[in-house]
A and B are shown apart, each in its own frame.
Chain A
């Protein structure tokens, strides 16, 4: 049905689509080098000072009256984010993998129920889960802090790990596991020596995804974070609500680079041996 003009039109649309995805990000990249302290939208000259200030290096910015140093709060937010993401990823990777194994390799009565329940935290709007957890923690009398954020993140991260590992298990033949058990290996030995090496890329991919999503989460964290437990997205959200400041550009680029590196590793792991 498509002659050459139609495919040319499609091609143009496709290129435009990619441009739409990346041009806004490219703008942040460009503005992150703008040396104008007062009006960040007006180009003044090239500088690396915004990056230097985030990394705690000496800059020319301190000379300007309009510049307020916020590196300490930023570093605290980064630390909080990394702590939360690390713990939440470890716990949810274990739980998500265990559940995926149970669903894929066992037949039991509540199987469908578990499958449905595990997908639910992922598809329901963040705000609903966020306020449900807020009411829950407050009615338990818990102080909000990093521990409540970690608990909250585990709920939906487990779902993501579950889905990724399940996909891996579904694409895997069971004959090696059956052979191992026929040859007298215990379920544990079969798991350790046969199943685990095969699903390891899936587990690693799920863990990376969980880590990124945890680092990225704003809405749920917003409701269950305490006064001193602001994570990086909360820190950025706070700044943006008070008015845009130029160091956001450099911070955004560093964060994007990090996410893209982790994501690229994850996608590569997933594509390997599949």
Chain B
């Protein structure tokens, strides 16, 4: 056997398991889901094998058949999910940007320790991290008790089962996804550039807007995408902290599968989520490529 052909066999051997796994348990399931999304829901759950694009019509307004109607509730849920995901991104960004700056300026050993501490909660069970905030925000929770303790019991905010609670939960769970990319780009920042801008007469604000912000843009965008995607499709946090009052698209999909048993409609919603996320990722790739290209001399 020639060395070339033995290398080819090695490559085939290395790739076969992943190919089987990805084809069998990823691409085929996604394909079946896409197919389901254009089938007609059966009377008692399940599907009828007829082409039925009207599942999308219920959300988007078109196409509409004889039976399905445009229901603004679903479009509203989709918009609310997008809005809360965007708010979560902004909250994470505002919290993490100064913190990442702080960490990047710590001396070596302390920096490693703090980085370790910031990364650690990422490994903690998601449901436990959400639960921690339920302890704080629930009507008899820590927040109410703190207000009581200082004699302001009547003014304690009732945040549980509001959009605010959902954003707090999402932001807490997703903070590391924003922090790490931000930190990576802030760490690379050359202080000499800021010094130069200040020597040339730029105010600190100008220095920040014209030097720091553009140079850390890849981190901001990267972190935003990493936070936006799981926030948008999340269903655990809204189920636990939003209750029935703050339905997001993730809860709606879950409901279609486990309660309403309209699988084609649930699949169509999931396809819409996937489509929106692919658009976000493509926009990111386009933007990131440009920013990256512009920064490098």
Contacts and interface: CB of A to CB of B under 8 A. Distances in A.
Contacts of A179: none
A18 B117 contact: yes
Given A127-B254, A187-B6, A252-B128, A11 B120 contact: no
B127 interface: yes
Interface in B107-135: 112, 114, 116-129, 131-135
Contact of A126 (B136, B138, B207, B230): B230
User: Interface of chain A, helix or strand or loop or mixed?
Assistant: helix
Nearest to B130: A240
Interface string B131-167: 1111110101110010000000000000000000000
Contacts of A108: 11
Given A135-B32, A187-B10, A127 B235 contact: yes
Interface stretch (A49-57, A59-67, A166-174, A262-270): A262-270
Interface string A1-27: 110000100110110011011101101
Given A14-B102, A128-B233, A218-B236, A267 B119 contact: yes
A255 B198 CA distance: 50
A146 interface: no
A75 interface: no
Contacts of A219: 235-236
B52 interface: no
Interface in B21-39: 21-22, 25-30, 32-33, 36
B126 A125 contact: no
Contacts of A31: 135
A196 interface: no
B123 A133 contact: no
Contacts of B198: 1
Contact of A259 (B11, B123, B233, B267): B123
Contacts of B33: 128, 131-132, 135-136
Interface string A109-134: 00000100110110111111101111
Nearest to A244: B134
A136 B15 contact: no
B230 A17 contact: no
Contacts of B232: 125
B279 interface: no
Most buried by B among A125, A139, A152: A125
A140 B6 CA distance: 37
B95 interface: yes
Interface size class of A (residues with CB under 8 A): 35 or more
A163 to B, nearest CB: 13
Given A1-B194, A24-B132, A219-B235, A158 B98 contact: no
Contacts of A139: 32
Given A17-B95, A24-B136, A158 B240 contact: no
A218 B126 contact: yes
Contacts of B96: 17
Contact of A25 (B105, B121, B204, B277): B121
Interface residues of B, number: 84
Contacts of B105: 7, 10
Nearest to A215: B125
B283 interface: no
B236 A158 contact: no
Interface string B196-215: 00100000100110000000
B128 A125 contact: no
A182 B95 CA distance: 53
Contact of A131 (B122, B134, B253): B253
Interface in B1-52: 6-7, 10-11, 13-15, 17-18, 21-22, 25-30, 32-33, 36
The 8 closest A-B pairs by CB, nearest first: A125-B233, A14-B102, A24-B132, A263-B123, A136-B29, A102-B14, A17-B99, A132-B29
29 contacts: A7-B105, A10-B102, A13-B99, A17-B98, A17-B99, A20-B172, A24-B133, A41-B135, A121-B26, A125-B229, A125-B230, A125-B250, A125-B274, A127-B234, A128-B233, A132-B29, A133-B25, A134-B257, A135-B267, A136-B32, A162-B18, A218-B127, A223-B257, A236-B127, A240-B240, A252-B125, A252-B128, A260-B124, A263-B122
Interface of B: 6-7, 10-11, 13-15, 17-18, 21-22, 25-30, 32-33, 36, 95-96, 98-99, 101-103, 105, 112, 114, 116-129, 131-136, 138, 140-142, 145, 172, 175, 194, 198, 204, 207-208, 226, 229-230, 232-236, 239-240, 250, 253-254, 257, 263, 266-267, 270, 273-274, 277, 281
